[in-house]
Structure 1
């Protein structure tokens, strides 16, 4: 523990209280040791760099009990740079602690320090693990792609295993083993180089697939790093939800901490106000969605009655589920929403690759699924509007179309849609130039145009909140919507975010 805290191989033992050390990469580390009797202690290491607004805090708690040691490691990061990119991964001390332990376990799961390679005869070991009701760790299964001949998939598995060490089990299956798993699990298995994350709980052939996230080989090849980040982030999120064992309750309570380590009341009040604002925004959005759901449900009921009255019952039930080649109802992330638009909506939307920017952090945020599907809904709304315009609808622009209550509409409210920018943005060269995006030369010969209209995918989320900027050419040569940006708010700052 001392060697990790000080990064010195010959340093003496840590002393009670606070010490400061200069460590690698220009960091200054403040280490606080707190002992609670002969069987428990806590080490908190705070890393910072002069001039850098980011601070990393690693807390290690250890309790000795008979011939067993209970260890809890917590890593947190705080920064004034809200747009800072962070790659989630286990702290170095986790690797060292696990390496010093004979048979580390978490609940009913053995903790491994690398990928577990299973051949076809060993797949029974995997299915037994998946069927274990006491399994407490997710299992990430990586499979060999067909007809590639390279080991990149194994490098991906090793990277995931290193970053998710302590919070997940990583298993690799070659092609024959992947076939054996398909024979055992059917549709819950994995195909041709894909990766699946099996959440804790019993997994058998009849289990629900939506609980166990699947990543296709195509997704990995197109967005390898962001997909790996997403997998690691997903299992890391699960670990933060796990209830802390009661034994660690001896460490709780700020009353045991020095006064200079307590959080000032004013800071807590600021945090509380921010949380209350986010809660109100969430309530407003829930109310809006409930009204929209009621309206849509009523519309659907009327359509159902009309189809039944006209003897079209088969048509009604035949369209209940999407077909394989149909426009998907849902996506997993914002980048997948963009890809889906490029694949399915090109008749009505022009979306160049240059418009898809800085989505890694959005795709790995806690709101990733929510933001992704809101973005997909917004893109489908833009496409439906362009299609209706081509069909003769002429009662205004996109706002008026949304306000008319179409089936695939977007909320026509200032919190969700803006057809222009404020005077501050338009009169500022610095701010307005961030709204100049690529567009078809059929719209503008220079291939660049200022776009002010945008969808607000999220009111909360700060600088990371997604935005979709677009230009309406449905009445022009292309008869399309041209999307200039799908990306975070910090790329298009205004007075409040600049």
Structure 2
């Protein structure tokens, strides 16, 4: 059995091949890793997959014998093998390089034995000098390997096409999701209630892009959907037409865990103008980038076409130079030999320089990733401390109120059983819930809010939860403002000193105006001309400066912009914007 992952990283290693114009430093845009490929025929099956892939690319009579093969003026095929002391094959490397109108492409497949048995296989796609608009996709060789090798991730089979799950097999799917041995994501889709061409095309594109990087499953009908929901509860369910990305370590009994596993609804998948489906593949590939390369792959060398061949060529060249005579012809021959050695030295220097650049880029990327992780951790610590402070304050107030009720003989009122709805898992669910708030009028672009779900899948549930609290606070303020007694202040005052029965939002997250510099900057002010009902302005837009901060740090820092029209013709709060931070002096 084997387990496979796909990984996209940056790597600067320009390979040198005869007959191919040297590219600029290429990027590795795809890497698939297969572990523990068992069986005596594993190497044979790997070659079978390579030949099938080469045949699909119309390679001319491709041969997999060791050496460098010039397929044509634009393509070379390099093959190398190593053997153990007992003569058994230990590793093989096959590399196809081609330059065409779209750029330089190099696909490398490396397979080697592991100390505990079986094979580990890597497939890499390197690209450079790409034409405008060309977007590399994972190597097609990955799918060929899936066809000939039994590939598994823990108990889950990895396949080119999704595995159909009928109602009687949902137990197996639940076990896959909960398995501690699984390290890759699982994509679970549920068929729509009716045929839908756009949905089917996009699900097909998702499975094609994620094959080998995630397990793929399809709930075949409503009976399977209902049976699956019965096992994983509402928190982890997959509705008809939806696609859910399950990360490792699923806990169906924990409501909060459901937020980790992102859902893309049928409405978004079937909307031709909505391209969020591509983020499903993108997130799977992003997760694959963190997969570690096994040491056996990093340590394997192929002297047959690398150092040994180069050393032999140098020895022959030096011997040829030493054996020349003193005549003019001999000297010319010696000069030619030495010129060749200089050319080879230049090539080696170029290789070393490229290697140094590769390491520098890797170090820079690692430093950037570390910085982002540190920033994210710092932000989470701050938010956690804020939450603890709010919780301590709420507990202190609750304790005091309960004491008062007990002293007044109303102990039964001190411990009410209140139903508390769970926060929305994302902005799509948030927008669906706004209708539950009668004094909130949402006129903003849905797209801007939904983009937050796509921008950062980990942070989006937190932002959506805060946005829901903010909207409920605005609705509570509107209720008090439009009541017979009214409220003598704006939303900030409401949050700073909330009246009895109010549902406030942290006042330090509320700003009732923008700075003069922002309002006087034409472009920045134009961004804040946001949609309103025509009864407020015949043009349909109005300058909005009052806003709520859903996050105070980072480049996204979502905001809610609103207009207080509780004293106007609508009697509502108008929400003109939910989305990432608009331009100001700090962006």
Q: Same fold (TM over 0.5)?
A: yes
Match of 1:286 among 362, 378, 384: 384
Deviation by residue 1:11-40 (Cα, 9 ceiling, x = unmatched) = xx95389x9767xxxxx76268xx999559
Offset of residue 207 of structure 1? 4.5
Is 2:105 aligned against 1:105? no
Instruction: Name the counterpart of 1:411.
Output: 506
3-state DSSP of counterpart to 2:452 = helix
Q: How many residues were matched structurally?
A: 442
Is 2:356 aligned against 1:259? yes
CA distance in 2, matches of 1:187, 1:370: 21
Offset of residue 470 of structure 1? 0.9
Deviation by residue 1:441-475 (Cα, 9 ceiling, x = unmatched) = 3333433211111112222331x332211111223
Match of 1:65 among 113, 117, 122: 113
What value does the CA root-mean-square deviation take over the aligned residues? 4.8
Q: Is the 8 A contact 1:226 1:360 kept in 2?
A: no
- Using the TM superposition, name which of 219-228 and 453-462 deviates more: 219-228
- Using the TM superposition, name which of 358-367 and 207-216 deviates more: 207-216
Instruction: Name the counterpart of 1:318.
Output: 417
CA distance in 1, matches of 2:107, 2:401: 58
Instruction: Name the counterpart of 2:210.
Output: 164
Is 2:464 aligned against 1:372? yes
* Superposition map of 1:86-101 within 5 A: 91-92=138-139, 95=142, 98-99=145-146
- Using the TM superposition, name which of 393-402 and 381-390 deviates more: 393-402
Q: Is the 8 A contact 2:189 2:219 kept in 1?
A: yes
Deviation by residue 1:263-296 (Cα, 9 ceiling, x = unmatched) = 3899988887777666555444333322112112
Q: Is the 8 A contact 2:225 2:240 kept in 1?
A: no
3-state DSSP of counterpart to 1:358 = helix
CA distance in 2, matches of 1:291, 1:434: 35
CA distance in 1, matches of 2:467, 2:175: 39
CA distance in 1, matches of 2:218, 2:364: 50
- 1:59/1:287 CA distance change after superposition, 3 Å: farther
- 1:359/1:93 CA distance change after superposition, 3 Å: farther
Stretches of structure 2 lacking an aligned partner (at least 5 in a row): 1-13, 29-78, 83-90, 98-104, 128-134, 301-351
Offset of residue 247 of structure 1? 4.2
Offset of residue 111 of structure 1? 1.8
- Using the TM superposition, name which of 419-428 and 89-98 deviates more: 89-98
Offset of residue 390 of structure 1? 2.1
Deviation by residue 1:351-395 (Cα, 9 ceiling, x = unmatched) = 12x433434442021311122212222222211221222233534
- 1:300/1:194 CA distance change after superposition, 3 Å: farther
3-state DSSP of counterpart to 2:160 = coil
Instruction: Name the counterpart of 1:465.
Output: 557
Offset of residue 69 of structure 1? 3.9
Higher relative CO (Cα under 8 Å, sequence separation at least 6) belongs to: 2
Structure with max Cα Rg: 2
Q: Is the 8 A contact 1:219 1:227 kept in 2?
A: no
* Superposition map of 1:108-257 within 5 A: 108-119=155-166, 126=173, 129=176, 134-146=181-193, 148-150=194-196, 153-175=199-221, 178=224, 181-182=227-228, 185=231, 187=233, 190-201=238-249, 207-208=253-254, 211=257, 213=261, 215=263, 219-220=267-268, 225=274, 228-229=277-278, 231-232=280-281, 235-236=284-285, 239=288, 245=294, 247=296, 250=299
CA distance in 2, matches of 1:292, 1:384: 19
Instruction: Name the counterpart of 1:355.
Output: 445
Instruction: Name the counterpart of 1:50.
Output: none
3-state DSSP of counterpart to 2:573 = strand
Q: Is the 8 A contact 1:62 1:69 kept in 2?
A: no
CA distance in 2, matches of 1:199, 1:385: 39
Q: Is the 8 A contact 2:199 2:270 kept in 1?
A: no
3-state DSSP of counterpart to 2:395 = helix
Instruction: Name the counterpart of 2:16.
Output: 15
CA distance in 1, matches of 2:378, 2:265: 40
Q: Is the 8 A contact 1:109 1:134 kept in 2?
A: no
Match of 1:336 among 426, 429, 434: 429
Q: Is the 8 A contact 2:123 2:139 kept in 1?
A: no
Stretches of structure 1 lacking an aligned partner (at least 5 in a row): 1-12, 23-27, 46-56, 78-86, 323-327
Offset of residue 425 of structure 1? 1.5
- Using the TM superposition, name which of 98-107 and 262-271 deviates more: 262-271
3-state DSSP of counterpart to 2:480 = helix
Offset of residue 170 of structure 1? 1.8
3-state DSSP of counterpart to 2:360 = coil
Is 2:474 aligned against 1:382? yes
